[in-house]
Amino acid sequence: MKRPATVLLTALAPISWGTTYAVTTEFLPADRPLFTGLMRALPAGLVLLAFARVLPRGAWWGKAAVLGALNIGAFFPLLFLSAYRMPGGMAAVVSSVGPLFVVGLSALLLGQRPTVRSVITGAVAAFGVSLVVLQAAGALDLVGVLAALASTASMSAGTVLTKRWGRPDGVGPLALAAWQLTAGGLLIAPIALLVEGAPPALDGRAVGGYLYLALANTAVSYWLWFRGIGRLTATQVTFLSPLSPLTAAVVGWAALGQALTPVQLAGMALAFGATLAGQIRPGATTPIADSKRAPGTKPGALTTV
């Protein structure tokens, strides 16, 4: 598939994730971040596993567990904890530093030297997101801020490691997503039971919200996300992440009656421009060292951004 089509399909994932806060606040039971993370991860993982019909082998049992913990098991509960403790706008501002995390981790783990353009683009994206959402952000909550930072760092590390390890020969992104969602859900389950107790009573709205989160927002979106990680660079993928808070702002305006000011519209333009700039690759590529390349990946598959 042509690269622009790959970028567009991968972008559908953060666009879908931008609806998470509205669904959480409008449809789901309050103050259950672990249970909500579990209901989002485990059903989606089992559905994808039923379609993929492939289990990890050898070292990939451990790798799938590590990636599942970073991308799902830690990320989901921390994400929902920040959403419950802070307005979604503030959580979005904190998480918008994700591209900068990935730039730094790519230098450490992938041998990709950060460029001035990638750092400036990440800073512009974060600034644009802050203009969009800070006006309605409200007061800072230290636990919420730390949870948002930790969730962003966790998924940034998972994104870079997913790129470094690649996929086993003959295994597609559907199976990779299934392994991680299942592993992450199984990690969350006992913690949710110990910390939050028995599952809450669910009405029809909550059931519908959890179905949406598990299927469209997670199963399909994470398949597209890991597919994109396999075809694009780690920084190109993560520079799509500002689309999530931008989508949240649009959903708030269209569905929840939240106004958009000229300053917010300018911020959206900045963040969207940074997202587009993050997809531009330099002419030369720099393959990582053979010792860092995952078995089954092609030489030169990772490029410097």
The residue range of the domain holding 252 is 3-281
Does 164 score more than 70 pLDDT? Answer: yes
Residue 196 backbone dihedrals phi, psi, to 5 degrees: -105, -10
The residue with greater pLDDT, 124 or 186, is: 186
> pLDDT class for 248, splitting at 50, 70, 90?
confident
The residue with greater pLDDT, 280 or 222, is: 222
pLDDT tens column, 17-69: 888 878 888 899 988 999 999 999 999 999 999 999 999 999 999 999 999 99
Least confident residue range of 2-6, 231-235, 252-256: 252-256
Angle at alpha carbon of residue 5, lines to 274 and 273, rounded to 5° = 10
Q: What percent of the chain has pLDDT over 90?
A: 37
In terms of average pLDDT, the best of 39-53, 89-103, 218-232 is 39-53
Over residues 148-165, the mean pLDDT reads: 89
Residue 304 lies inside a defined structural domain of this protein = no
Residue 293's pLDDT is: 42
Question: Closest by alpha carbon to 96, among 260, 243, 252?
Answer: 243
User: Do residues 163 and 302 lie in contact, with contact meaning Cβ atoms separated by under 8 Å?
Assistant: yes
Query: In angstroms, rounded to a whole number, what is the distance separating the alpha carbons of residues 118 and 7?
Result: 17
Over residues 247-255, the mean pLDDT reads: 74
Q: What percent of the chain has pLDDT over 70?
A: 77
User: Do residues 194 and 38 lie in contact, with contact meaning Cβ atoms separated by under 8 Å?
Assistant: no
pLDDT, the chain, mean = 80
> pLDDT class for 117, splitting at 50, 70, 90?
confident
Does 304 score more than 60 pLDDT? Answer: no
Q: Give the start-end residues of each E strand in 94-223.
A: none
Rounded to a whole number of angstroms, the distance between the first and last alpha carbons of the chain is 21
User: Do residues 127 and 178 lie in contact, with contact meaning Cβ atoms separated by under 8 Å?
Assistant: no
Least confident residue range of 66-70, 82-86, 185-189, 220-224: 82-86
Least confident residue range of 108-122, 174-188, 278-292: 278-292
Question: Closest by alpha carbon to 154, among 102, 106, 193?
Answer: 102
Residue 104 lies inside a defined structural domain of this protein = yes
pLDDT tens column, 178-207: 999 999 999 999 999 999 999 999 999 999
Residue 82 lies inside a defined structural domain of this protein = yes
Residue 15 lies inside a defined structural domain of this protein = yes
> pLDDT class for 232, splitting at 50, 70, 90?
confident
Residue 248 lies inside a defined structural domain of this protein = yes
The residue with greater pLDDT, 226 or 298, is: 226
User: Do residues 166 and 230 lie in contact, with contact meaning Cβ atoms separated by under 8 Å?
Assistant: yes
Evaluated on CA atoms 212, 278, 291, 105, the torsion sign reads negative
Does 97 score more than 60 pLDDT? Answer: yes
Residue 297 lies inside a defined structural domain of this protein = no
Residue 18 lies inside a defined structural domain of this protein = yes
Does 303 score more than 60 pLDDT? Answer: no
Residue 216 lies inside a defined structural domain of this protein = yes
Please count the structural domains in the chain.
1
Per DSSP, 227 falls in state: H
